[in-house]
Structure 1
C-alpha cells in the first residue's frame, strides 16, 4: 500500500484513539463536579448526582461527609469508587491537613463503600455495624462487584475490592476523636439490616445515610419498609440543625424533607397492601395506582416500579405471617 494511502487509512483511527484518550484524561482530571459544603462549624459533605452510576459520573451518585476534629478527620461513608475517595480526600485537604483517622459507614451498599480501600491505604480505621458481615460474604456483594468492574470501568476494576471494617458495633456506640463525640445509633433493619445514623452533638449535625433521600425517590430494594418508616420518625428526635442524607441536598428542615421519604414509603405500603389483601395481581395493581403525587420527583422512572414490586412481595410475606 502506498505511504500516502496508508496514512489516509490510518488517520481516522488515530484521530479517534486520540479523542478517546483525551476524553478519558479529561474525565480523570475533572470528573463530575465535587465540592465540600459546610453543614456545621467543622462539618462538611459532598453531594452526589441524582443519576444512576455510570463510567461518565465515576459512580458519584451518593453523599459522603467529614468532620474535622483536633486529632484528625472523621469521614462518614466512602463514595462509590476509589477515584471518588481520592477526590474526597482532595476536598478535605482544602479544609485541613489533618490525617483521616476514621471512616464510619452508614451501611454497606456499593455506592458508599467502593472508595474504602483508598482510606484504608491512608491508615484510617473503618467502623461499621456487624450486620454488614453477612452482605460482605454474600453472592450478592460478589456479583455486584463483578458486574461493576464491567459497567463502571475504568473506575471499578480488578483491583477494586470490598474492605471489611476494623471495628464492628452491635448497638448504640459513642466514639471520641480529638474530644469530639460521634454517636453511632443503629436504626436498622430498615434500608439495610446494618443502617447506622451518625450524630455529632457538638456540631448538631446528623448523617442519616440512606434512611433519608432528599428531593428524589429512594431505592427500596429488599428493605423492611415498616421499620424504615419507624426509623425516619426516630431521626426527627435528634437535636440536629442539619441532616445530611445519603442522597440529595442536606436538610435544614428535616421534618418537612424527611416527611417526603416517609410519605412515599407509606403510599407504597398502603396501595400494595390493599392489592395483596384483595388478591389483585401486581401488574394490574401498579397500573391502577395513582402515582401522581410522586411521578414528578427525580428518579421516579428508574425506581418506582421496582419499589412497588418489592413492597408487594414484602407485604405478601407479611400477610402469610398473620
Structure 2
C-alpha cells in the first residue's frame, strides 16, 4: 500500500518537521497513488495552517495502530496506561471503529493527529468503505485531538451537546499543554475539531444494517459524556465513564458519576470498552472496582469536610485506601479529591 504524504514544518522553526499523512489518497501501487494525487490536488494548507508544507509525494504506508477484532465488524485499540508524553505521542486512550455494510464509524480519535493517522491506516487495512462519523465520547484531549484526520476525509464529527462549548473553552490550553507533553514535531497538524452533530439525549446512527445507539449523559466524569452502544455485538463503548486498571479521573461531578454508573449497568449490553484499560471487560460486573472507588471517594470526602480538614490536607488522605487498586493513582487521585471536596462541601 502507498499513501500520499507531505513534509510539514513549523514556520517559526524550520527544523521542527514531520511527514503528515494526506488521507484518502491510498493505492496498492506507487503509480496509482501518484495518479490520485495528480487528480485530486489536495488542499494541505486547510489542515496545516501556520506551517510550511512541502511537495506532496507517495511513499509506502507508515505506522499502523494495533487493533484487535473483538466481534464481527468491531475493532478496538488499547491505549497505553500512561500520561501523554513524547514516547507515546498521546496514544493513551482506548479507541475503536465499527464497520457496517455501507460505512465506518470511529469512536474516539487519540491525543494527536499523528495517532489519528495511525488509526486511519488501521481502518484502511480492514475496509475501503467511507468513514462516515467520528464519535467523541467526551472533551478530554487524549480522546479528541486526532479527529482532524477523519474530518479531512468527510467524516461528520459527533459529540454531546455540551462538547462544542467545552472544546472551544479549552482549545488553546489543550493544544499548548499536549503539544508540550508530546513534542512539537509529533504534534504538527493537530487541531481541535468541533462537532458537526450534537446529541442532547439520544441519537441512532446507521452504518448500513449496523445501528449505533448514542446517549448523552448528565454531568459525571465530565460535563460532556456520551456512550455508544452496538446492539449487534452487545458492546457498549463508555468512554471515560468507565475506567479499568488506569486510575479514574474526575472532571465533573462525583455524585453525578455515581448515578450515571448505576444507570449504565442497567443497559442491555454484556461487554464494554472502557476509556482506559481492558480493552474489553464483562458487564455489568466490570463496574465493581470503579463503583467502589467512587463510594470511597465520596465517603472519605464527606468525612474530611465533617472533621473540618482543609482542602490541602484532605487531598492527601481522601481515598488512599484505594491506592493499590489502580495504576497512576498518585497522578490522578489528588485532583479527584480536590474536585470532590469542592463539590461536596456545599451539600
TM-score class, shorter-chain normalisation, is 0.7 to 0.9
RMSD of the TM alignment (CA)?
A: 2.0
Q: Structure 2 vs 1, CA of residues 170 and 275 (structure 1 numbering), >3 Å: closer, same or farther?
A: same
Q: Which residue of 2 is the match for residue 181 of structure 1?
A: 211
Q: Distance in 2 between matches of 1:85 and 1:156?
A: 11
Shift of 1:294: 3.0
Query: Is the radius of gyration larger for structure 1 or structure 2?
Result: 1
Could you state the TM-score of these two structures normalised by the residue count of structure 2?
Answer: 0.78
Q: Within the alignment, does 1:56 sit opposite 2:87 as a pair?
A: yes
Q: Within the alignment, does 1:292 sit opposite 2:321 as a pair?
A: yes
Q: Distance in 2 between matches of 1:34 and 1:84?
A: 8
Structure 1 counterpart of 2:334, from 305, 308, 315: 305
Q: Which has the higher helix share?
A: 1
Q: Contact 2:103–2:129 (CA<8 Å) still a contact in 1?
A: yes
Q: Which residue of 2 is the match for residue 9 of structure 1?
A: none
Q: Distance in 1 between matches of 2:115 and 2:109?
A: 8
Please, which runs of 5 or more residues in structure 2 have no aligned partner?
1-16, 18-60
Q: Contact 2:201–2:215 (CA<8 Å) still a contact in 1?
A: yes
Q: Which has the higher strand share?
A: 2
Structure 2 counterpart of 1:94, from 103, 114, 125: 125
Could you state the TM-score of these two structures normalised by the residue count of structure 1?
Answer: 0.83
**SS of corresponding position for 2:123:** helix
**SS of corresponding position for 2:88:** coil
Structure 2 counterpart of 1:77, from 104, 108, 121: 108
Q: Which residue of 1 is the match for residue 253 of structure 2?
A: 224
Q: Which residue of 2 is the match for residue 24 of structure 1?
A: none
The 5 Å alignment of 1:99-114 reads 99-114=130-145
Structure 2 counterpart of 1:204, from 234, 242, 258: 234
**SS of corresponding position for 1:71:** coil
Q: Deviations over 1:65-108 (max 9, x none)?
A: 11111101111111111111111112212222222111111112
Please, which runs of 5 or more residues in structure 1 have no aligned partner?
1-20, 22-27
Structure 1 counterpart of 2:159, from 110, 113, 128: 128
Q: Distance in 1 between matches of 2:212 and 2:295?
A: 31
**SS of corresponding position for 2:214:** strand
Q: Within the alignment, does 1:235 sit opposite 2:264 as a pair?
A: yes
Q: Within the alignment, does 1:162 sit opposite 2:192 as a pair?
A: yes
